Amino acid sequence: MGIFDFLGGGSGPEKALKLKSKVTQKYGDPTTRQKALQQLGEMKFPEAVGVLLQRYNITVEPLTTDADEKELVFEFIKGFGKDAMGPVTDFLRKNEAATSWALRILEALVPQPEVTTIAVDMLAELSGKYMRNSEKLVVLLHYVTGKADPRIAPTVLPYLEDMSDEVKLAALKALGPLKYEPAREPILKLLANKEIARRVQTAALGALQESGFGVQGYRENVEAAMAEPYFLDGNGLVQRRA
């Protein structure tokens, strides 16, 4: 029998799971919640990590307390080392909120390329699925932007057709510097679609300029959608004014 059995909570993992209601308690005395976080941080069971992560699913007042507690959870989970990888990755997969915290924790546990692989895998898994909240997709897309991984471009490309403008914008930002040829026509089609929001069209112009793609086959559409600071040169390339 372990020490936690004597403390009136069953085995260590069982005690960790029983603390979930206190960790996610938004109202009442905050010391109850903070004590539960401290207890979980001192455990060494994967179940404790899973419960600690639930703190990221609520926001409490005042916001300074909320931020302090979330930072404390970050430090506690870091202390679990690679034992936290499974619960954190599982949390990232199953939750629509707190994606940025999950990625930050993963970066503290393993080298950045491994986190990029996880993010790309997640984007591939979510592609084509309905998301009530687009925040998760946007955070994942922002995370892979500027990263070196050959899977990023083909994985991001389908998100140009997402219903959310925020997702389209994030996908365009990620694709622009990658110069991924299969993205040329989908980007041009965004410009040709008169129902697309103006800010998405402007972001598409930016992606074309970064990619260096010509506008052949879509010149009239591009000219009609042109907006400062971009212009179309004589070679059919989108340029940006200095």
Instruction: For 28-62, give the secondary structure using H, E and C.
Output: CCHHHHHHHHHHHHHCCCHHHHHHHHHHHHCCCCC
Q: Which residues pair with 214 in a beta bridge?
A: 237
Q: Which H or E element spans position 237?
A: none
Comparing CA positions, the residue from 141, 208, 135 lying closest to residue 177 is: 208
Q: What is the pLDDT of residue 131?
A: 83
- Alpha-carbon distance of 138 to 158, in angstroms, equals 13
Measured in degrees and rounded to the nearest 5, phi and psi for residue 239 equal -120, 160
Over the chain (242 residues), the average pLDDT of each successive run of 10 is 42 86 95 97 93 97 97 97 96 93 97 97 92 92 96 98 96 97 97 94 97 96 93 95 89
Helix axis angle for 63-78 and 30-42, nearest 10°, is 10
Measured in degrees and rounded to the nearest 5, phi and psi for residue 230 equal -95, 155
Comparing CA positions, the residue from 197, 192, 195, 194 lying closest to residue 208 is: 192
Q: What is the pLDDT of residue 10?
A: 52
Cβ atoms of residues 193 and 158 within 8 Å: no
**Type of residue at 199:** R
